[in-house]
Amino acid sequence: MNILSVFLIFFFSKLILDLLLDILNLKTIAKTNEIPGFLKAHLSEEDFSKTKRYTVSKEKFSIFQTVCQAIVLLAFIFSGCFGRIEVFLVQWGLPGYIEGIIFIYIVSFILSFLMFPFSVYFEFVIEKKYGFSNMTASMFILDLVKSTLIGIIISFPLLLALFWFVDSTGSLWWIFAFIFTMIFQIVLIILYPLVIAPIFNKFEKLEEGSLTERLFALASKLDFNISGIFKMDGSKRSKHSNAYFTGLGKTKRVVLFDTLLNLLKDNELEAVLAHEIGHYKKRHLIKGIILSLAVMFCGFFVISLLLHFEPLFLAFGFTGSSTYGIITLMMLYSSCFTFFLTPLFNLFSRKNEYEADRYAVLAVENKESLKDALLKLGKDNLSNPVPHPLYSFFHYSHPVLSERLKAIEKTSTF
């Protein structure tokens, strides 16, 4: 069995699984005619019907997008696209490193261009239809330009360094490259809330008032020092509500969407803040970074093994082995071989959410505030309350709402 045949077995296995999960989830929500018991006091028939329609719309869109993306990824291989781009770039006589970086950018641009209509449809048709999107065409294009430029600014020095490590540090290049990338990633985590996030959104410290005093009193009680609790103008793009913890060291901060502030009561926001503090106190961010670095370490090791295995490159249409070639293959096709790990990462993430929920309940000394906040968020975001178990197992980084509520109810506040 040749290399391409082995790849296609994994590729279609993942594709079939993805489609099967979407279909199972679609059928589950379609046949759920009654509001789940735990939601009957919080959700009207009209709201539940809207939630079902939104879920069905997203699942049908996901199925179509998954099939189209699979066709594009296969077309890259069978059209000889990779080899054609290589031949095209050779004619320009560019320095080797620059040629490799431009190759990766061209492939990324082609993929982004072909998938661009799907982003437009989801944002301006599905999200608009269900009252979530406040995005304008000019804002959408500006965001795309900004994210593209930031991606180039960040990736260019990283790729340049990786190419240099391969050529200049011998057989252990991958260890040096890993260490450099690890430091690079940590610096980005520190800089993100200060430099990158403000390019897209406006962040303001919460105004003085009873809510701010209450939240800072909670942070003080929990011995949590932060640079501030910030309000983000998420509503200028979407009506979805959220909160998150970001940054390291002195740059750590809690960010609350303005939509969240408008949705929840003070005691519910206090519970949400306690949940985010729980992630920090339980060292979930650090554990997540360590897990990410472990995966990255394994990735670099695999790249070191495949880098000079020329039959692999020829099977995918390259003219020969290259650093930019293996990076491209890993970028586009590695998920075909690692998709079975996704549930493990989700289990890790869901465990963290349960721990943060428990911490929040104990911190605010009641269960109802967090439960009410989660119920309002689920209703406001039209979250599917009855996903198929296999679908949530593979796709949900957070526990299903019913599972979270049961776990909170079991938490003793004494």
DSSP 164-186: HHHHHSGGGHHHHHHHHHHHHHH
Residue 298, pLDDT > 70, answer yes
Residue 243 pLDDT level (bands cut at 50, 70, 90): confident
For residues 141-166, average pLDDT: 95
Compute how many other C-beta atoms are within 10 angstroms of the C-beta atom of residue 147.
Answer: 14
| Residue 264 to residue 136: CA distance in whole angstroms | 27
Residue 62, pLDDT > 70, answer yes
Q: How many helices (H) and strands (E) does the chain have?
A: 19, 4
Q: Which two tokens stand for residue 280?
A: 């920090």
Residue 320 pLDDT level (bands cut at 50, 70, 90): very high
CB 11, CB 333: distance < 8 Å = yes
Residue 78, pLDDT > 60, answer yes
- At 22 the pLDDT is 95
- At 388 the pLDDT is 94
pTM of the model: 0.90
Residue 87, pLDDT > 90, answer yes
For residues 282-290, average pLDDT: 91
Sign of the dihedral defined by the CA atoms of residues 356, 362, 367, 373, in that order = negative
H or E segment and range at residue 358: helix 342-364
Q: Which residue stretches of 31-136 are H helix?
A: 45-78, 81-90, 96-121, 127-129
- At 224 the pLDDT is 85
- At 38 the pLDDT is 86
- At 196 the pLDDT is 92
Residue 414 pLDDT level (bands cut at 50, 70, 90): low
- At 227 the pLDDT is 67
CB 259, CB 234: distance < 8 Å = yes
Provide the annotated active-site residues. 276, 357
173 against 248, higher pLDDT: 173
Portion of the chain with pLDDT greater than 70, in percent: 99
- At 72 the pLDDT is 96
Residue 158 pLDDT level (bands cut at 50, 70, 90): very high
Lowest mean pLDDT among 9-18, 173-182, 239-248, 363-372: 239-248
